[in-house]
């Protein structure tokens, strides 16, 4: 056998014996685990040292009018219950529900009943008393009648006059007229009903002008005064303008709001009562920023605000006051004139944290 074959066989046996001894395996496994742990530790430390990446945008304050919407409803500017001043059976109605009436037009007519007979009797008594008084007064001029008789006949004459006047007034009350112009909103009395004194003939609502009544938050009171101009939008689509007519002196105890009335012209009674509306209160001009919804967040204690960048790369939470909201963002107050606002990643950073800054591609809105 040649020497080369002998050396090859010896070398093969040596390798087989080395692997078979198992000496190398434990050492290799420990080395791998130690190296893996070292790599992971170094990666973790590197991650701690590397600042978190956030997206930012720069926002500048804009001087703008602040319009505050207050929900309300349209209401008649005046409501009157027209009631009977004398008793009688209703024999005629002048209008139906929904009709417009003018002041002085007939609403209800009661039957005259025995009033005509009473009036005829009162007129006859008055004529008799007048004749007696005239005759007595003529006789008294010639000293043929005592002064006491003159006084007695005069008293009877005045009584007859008063009784006739009372009956005539009662007769006039059988025709119940509209005291103001308005819309008939309720007609509880029907023909054939007997109306007592004070019985309801109809209800009238004055619709021109019409009021928009809303509950004003107490913090807005300093910005609203009687006589100021304001506008409103009805849920039916109409936009109207008018004058603040009144502001309640006392608040609603539960909501801490004050009733405010906006008086709006309503020619032709086109605007209806009971329609939902938004009354727009114009507040003093203020500087504000318009932020996208993505920029708004909450602090740990639940306060609404946003996080901005200060000192080049530090995070700071700023509380905000929302002035108005729009479909593509919100107008807010509380930021410096120019602010670098975090719009991406703001929920993963905290006050004072150092971050890496990248300009965001998001639109300001």
Domain 112-173 is found in CATH 1.10.287: yes
Query: Does residue 42 register a pLDDT over 90?
Result: no
DSSP calls for 193-205: PEEPTT-EEEEEE
Give the right CATH number for 52-64+286-359 from 2.40.50.140, 3.90.1150.10, 3.40.1190.10, 2.40.420.20: 2.40.420.20
Beta bridge partners of 306: 318
Average pLDDT over residues 204-219: 92
Beta bridge partners of 72: 214, 277
Sign of CA dihedral 163, 165, 166, 168: positive
In CATH terms, the superfamily for domain 69-75+205-284 is Efflux pump adaptor protein, beta barrel domain (2.40.30.170)
pLDDT digits (tens, 9 = 90+) for 145-196: 677 877 887 888 889 889 888 888 889 899 999 999 899 987 778 888 998 9
Q: In 10 A of CB 93, how many CB atoms? A: 18
182-211 pLDDT, tens digit each: 999 877 788 889 989 999 999 999 999 999
Alpha carbon 207 to its chain centroid, in Å, reads 20
Numbered ranges of CATH 2.40.420.20 in the chain:
52-64+286-359
Instruction: Grade residue 302 by pLDDT with cuts at 50, 70 and 90.
Output: confident
Helices 115-141 and 147-172 sit at what angle, rounded to 10 degrees?
160
Question: What are the two backbone dihedrals, phi and then psi, of residue 33, each rounded to the nearest 5 degrees?
Answer: -60, -45
């Amino acid at each position: 056998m040649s020497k080369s074959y002998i050396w090859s066989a010896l070398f093969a046996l040596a390798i087989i014996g080395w692997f078979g001894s198992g000496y190398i395996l434990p050492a290799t496994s420990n080395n791998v685990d130690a190296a893996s742990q070292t790599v992971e530790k170094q990666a973790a430390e590197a991650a701690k040292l590397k600042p978190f990446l956030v997206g930012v945008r720069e926002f500048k304050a804009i001087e703008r009018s602040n319009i505050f919407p207050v929900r309300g409803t349209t209401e008649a500017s005046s409501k009157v219950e027209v009631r009977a001043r004398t008793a009688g059976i209703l024999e005629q109605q002048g209008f139906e529900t929904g009709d417009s009436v003018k002041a002085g037009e007939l609403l209800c007519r009661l039957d005259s009943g025995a009033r005509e007979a009473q009036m005829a009797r009162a007129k006859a008594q008055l004529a008799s008393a007048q004749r007696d008084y005239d005759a007595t007064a003529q006789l008294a001029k010639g000293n043929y009648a005592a002064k006491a008789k003159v006084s007695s006949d005069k008293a009877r004459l005045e009584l007859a006059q008063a009784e006739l006047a009372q009956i005539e007034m009662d007769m006039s009350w059988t025709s119940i007229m509209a005291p103001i112009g308005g819309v008939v909103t309720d007609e509880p009395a029907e023909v054939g009903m007997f109306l007592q004194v004070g019985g309801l003939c109809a209800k009238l609502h004055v619709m021109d002008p019409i009021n928009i009544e809303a509950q004003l938050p107490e913090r807005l009171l300093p910005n609203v005064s009687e006589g100021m101009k304001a506008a409103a939008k009805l849920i039916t689509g109409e936009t109207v303008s008018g004058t603040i007519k009144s502001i309640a002196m006392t608040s609603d105890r539960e909501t801490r709001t004050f009733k405010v009335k906006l008086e709006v012209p309503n020619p032709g009674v086109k605007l209806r009562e009971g329609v939902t509306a938004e009354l727009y209160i114009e507040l003093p001009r203020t500087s504000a920023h318009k932020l996208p919804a993505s920029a708004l967040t909450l602090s740990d204690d639940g306060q609404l605000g946003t996080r901005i960048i200060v000192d080049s790369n530090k995070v700071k939470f700023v509380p905000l006051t929302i002035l108005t909201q729009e479909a593509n963002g919100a107008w807010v107050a509380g930021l410096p004139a120019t602010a670098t606002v975090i719009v991406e990643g703001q929920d993963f950073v905290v006050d004072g944290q150092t971050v890496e800054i990248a300009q965001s591609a998001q639109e300001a809105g």
